[in-house]
A = this chain, B = another copy of it.
Amino acid sequence: MKIVCNKSDLLKGVSIVSKAVPSKTTMPILECILIDASMDIIKLTANDMELGIQTVIEGDIITNGMIAIDAKLFSDIVRKLPDNLITIESKENNQTTITCEKAKFDLSEKAADEFSFLPEIEKSNQFKISQFSLKELIRQTIFSIADNDSNKQMTGELFEIKEGLFRVVSLDGHRISIRKIELGEETEDTKLIVPGKTLQEISKILSGELESMVTISYTNNHIVFEFDQTMVVSRLIEGDYFKIDQMLSKDYETKIKVNKRELLSAIDRATLFVKEGDKKPIIIDIKDESMELQIKSQIGSMDESIEIHKDGKDLMIGFNPRFLIDALRVIDDEEVTLYLMNAKAPCFIKDEDENYIYLVLPVNFSSIA
């Protein structure tokens, strides 16, 4: 194999597929990027068996062929080369030579046939969404997946399509995040559980452009995202997702409107008194025109009042400040509305059309207050 490409094209491709290179593995071949120039295009691929990414880069193929090469070393080399043409040539004895201007690198390649190629996915079921929307939906929900494996479903997000509405859901036992958008076309109903890691990596690759579309196809076991010159293939998480609709009550006794930035800053300040791992709640005392935020710990205490518009009853309720912060941070609205029932029922932060719904469970504070 011998190919020539621009540093910038190569670097972009390598950093895209590197997202699927596992940081730890017992199989050295998984640490490799496959450079496939066996046909008339140059494809880079990495695959950690759960998540695989393939991208096509610009370049000239002088001799067809295919090599597997250590991803970390290869990407470091490309990054440090001058901004010029790079030649990659496979030599005898499994040696690859990389040259750029007067610099020449020799390193050993792995046998390309040991590489685990991406599975062939039948693309019968599919829908389209803009890069912008997909990136936003992920950003606005990904924080509330559970990061441990004790419940596999919680480590993923629900992708649900129902009557043309696309709903993305994540939950971790203390809170639920839901984002919804309309799909432009009539799409078949489905429910998929996509691994959180897949979504985190995809969201780093997505350009986030409004005009550029992502085609999402799926089978029972796999989901495929195609955009720009890139294809991301991921396993799905098996099993049924949680029945969330029965947790979403529309009743409330107290409804407040508040400036988002003010509320977020105040809660953020309160966290100064909560040490890592400590479970001090922030206590919110809702009155007619204002609410008072209070936190107390061994370190000290904070007290701050914020102006609000309130409908309904007064209420005193406690929360894990972290959970409120996570939700408020991803909401783009200037003003947010909170719906509350009583001190033991969940708080809902949602907009009128329920394009976003953040449910946060309260914390018992009776022993503290």
* A residues lining the B interface (CB < 8 Å): 73, 76-77, 80-82, 102-108, 265-266, 268-269, 272, 299-306
Having A80-B269, A80-B272, A105-B272, one finds 8 other A-B pairs with CB under 8 Å, namely A73-B272, A77-B269, A80-B265, A104-B304, A105-B300, A105-B303, A106-B302, A107-B299
**Given known contacts A73-B272, A76-B272, A77-B272, is B266 in contact with A302 (CB within 8 Å)?**
no
Q: Which residues of B contact A77 (CB under 8 A)?
A: 269, 272
Q: Which residues of B contact A302 (CB under 8 A)?
A: 103-106
Q: Which residues of B contact A80 (CB under 8 A)?
A: 265, 268-269, 272
Closest B residue to A266 by beta carbon equals B103
Minimum Cβ distance to chain B for residue A93 (Å)? 12
Q: Which residues of B contact A268 (CB under 8 A)?
A: 80
Of B102, B106, B306, which contacts A305 at CB under 8 A?
A: B102
Q: Which residues of B contact A305 (CB under 8 A)?
A: 102
**Given known contacts A102-B305, A306-B102, is B269 in contact with A300 (CB within 8 Å)?**
no
A103 engages B73 (CB within 8 Å): no
**Given known contacts A80-B268, A81-B269, A82-B265, is B73 in contact with A299 (CB within 8 Å)?**
yes
| C-alpha spacing A309/B108, complex, angstroms | 35
